[in-house]
Structure 1
């Protein structure tokens, strides 16, 4: 059964992911403030030196934000393979949501920085259990390649509604009701998602009957291509994640530079996601008609100036605008790249293949805060310039290594 042209089960997964993403995105805004507020003991750590690197508050915040992404990313290929092998997506999703929600509720009871790292690690593992299993189900629910981009566009739109509005609401909740209320919202998001999945989602018959045997991840490409196209897209996705996530660690510097309150930083952070969610469905459905590659190339090209500009704008409105442009760039990449990977995935191996991209995005969003937390010591603009340079390399990589996968794609004025 479909609703507005989309399988009802995809919409259920999308709503569940939206609620969970809103709760989890709260932490991106809350944790830097919570760690810097004095409620987490870091005075004994700040100012020390590790392997010649001076430990700063920004670096500690970057580590806390990045740890989630590292464990999330590096665990996803293993979870993807295991969910392919066992053909049980739902069980992985439920256990992951339980871990995410429980850890969010425990933050209010800890005062040690090391305890914060333990909770972030548990949440990273929880996300790794949830993400590849969810996107594999969305992929398997597409009855043909001409539906795949649309499915991922719808799914990502709802996910991004949660992720985009979460930071905006988080800033207001912290300012009005405090940190405990904000952590409570994160718990509620995970709990609501758990209930939706438990009641309305089941493993598909296709999943049960097509468990894959060959679950390896290809690195080298066919013929004269150096890299496998999905692996090449994975590298580009790492760069994209770095470019959008380096903003998070610099909350204090950006607020001071633009002389703005916390909720406006939340708006700027969420602007990427807001633009992304507006464009996701039309981009996903257009990629089912015109092909995946044109949108990928335009998206990576837009990522270059929109990232660099964040290091130089000096007005609140200017920062919102460049973050919105960056969000459009991400939208041009996200759904088409997942659809392309789904096109190439072997039967029964969706979890393994798609985990390359979900892992890469998680790795990028982990490296972004850590990178900016270190590079900002050389100048405010330096992290954003480095991100733009990496985006140039990602554009070339996709142009040279990724071919069109949709045989029925209509022609556009881009090289094939």
Structure 2
């Protein structure tokens, strides 16, 4: 029998550990298991607890200085020690806290006055904090220092489930369809500008890039760490940004955006009484496709993303022709048998993604594209139409 090491990351509920442990052999000489959690009660029930120690002052400096000051010793002498002493006191030398504030200060472009204002702002916010290791406050400060256009883009990540790999290109095109990307320079590419927003969030460490191989091509995805996702969902709730139907219950109360992530009986009952006429965006994930309302229920829908939902024996796409405000239609890997001709009536459509559907032939795609471009020309609209198949 082989010996092995298993790492189970981020357990929040002891019942989850109990289910996992049932699958493990009772032979402590052959394997070792390491679990991580932010819940002390869970750690104590799982086994021997090892609490990670905060960074020492030397390691805190090594983490903090390079991104903010580079090799500029003069700047370090002027401001570095003052800030690093603050870091170790207020952030308890927790790496995520140090990196978050470091990134926030770095966004001020070494302007000492602007950096000092951030320093004072953070100090004031945390002065009365009873729990110095509560990183939510620090991450919240990073969020509030984002420019408005990046806040909208960041909040949009709340439509995706936790631990979900979000395709960068898909994300940028969704931002465009939502109207978050607005060009100020004539002829500027919306997609290029959206990529700039994406890289700004990445550079601010609000999202984490992940690279995957798919059909011999390297594709960039992004993830949000657990603390970051908690913040995004909290702010999304405050702003009534989206209503999410997940494996717990529906959360938030937006009438403009819906995200169906998981199917529950309570969700179905709630949806029957919900008015869909003001919904502008709907993202549906595979486990919740049965919650999908009839398209006749919608009047101003701009985004419909059904990626990876199995639609081969469903009539979900009936009455597409009525969705005249549609900008984004995501049908990637949905197993559709054929491409609806009604798509040709969507005169404002900017993105049609039918990648990974064996049933949609090249001829069908070309017919739909011709109909779309004809519709666009007839109504004198000039959206940048992209079809992916």
TM range (shorter): under 0.3
Higher helix share: 1
Structure 2 length-normalised TM: 0.24
Specify which structure has the bigger relative contact order, considering alpha-carbon pairs within 8 angstroms and separated by 6 or more residues. 1
Structure 1 length-normalised TM: 0.22
Higher strand share: 2
Q: Which has the larger radius of gyration?
A: 2
